[in-house]
Structure 1
Amino acid sequence: MEEVDVRGMQCPDPLKVVAAKLAAAPQGAQFRVLTDDYTCYLMLRRMAALNDVKILSSEEGEVFVLILEK
């Protein structure tokens, strides 16, 4: 599982980074995405839903963590 750390980045940059990783990945690839921006976290969840990317788990706290599967 590849880790994608977008902490400290302002949206929409994290969305672009994660979207590029997903586009280049084979079906079934998993990513652990870290962000410290709540709005970005919500936008990443929405992007996943719109692109049929599974959210295997999510954690909310000081750092937001999403485990995504293409």
Structure 2
Amino acid sequence: MLTFGKLSFFHFCVYFVVQTIGAFVGAAAAYGLYYDQFVNYEGNEHKIIGHKGTARCFCSFPDPHLSNLTCFFDQ
């Protein structure tokens, strides 16, 4: 919308900042909601990778069997 002149630069900046803050608040709320389940599952180790990794709750990671081309077009 900024490119086509339907949104001012100021409103774009406000929209960008508010959307980013909202994303972090949403992720923090999800983490807080499921914190007990995370601790029970992984035992306070907070692993990112491995069979006990819980990082997939907040972002995506490619599976080892996927090619780089498949991962590129998936995202």
The two structures share one fold, judged by TM-score above 0.5: no
| Higher RCO (C-alpha under 8 Å, 6+ residues apart) | 1
Which TM-score applies when normalising by structure 1?
Answer: 0.26
Greater fraction of residues in strand: 1
Which TM-score applies when normalising by structure 2?
Answer: 0.25
Larger radius of gyration: 2
Greater fraction of residues in helix: 2
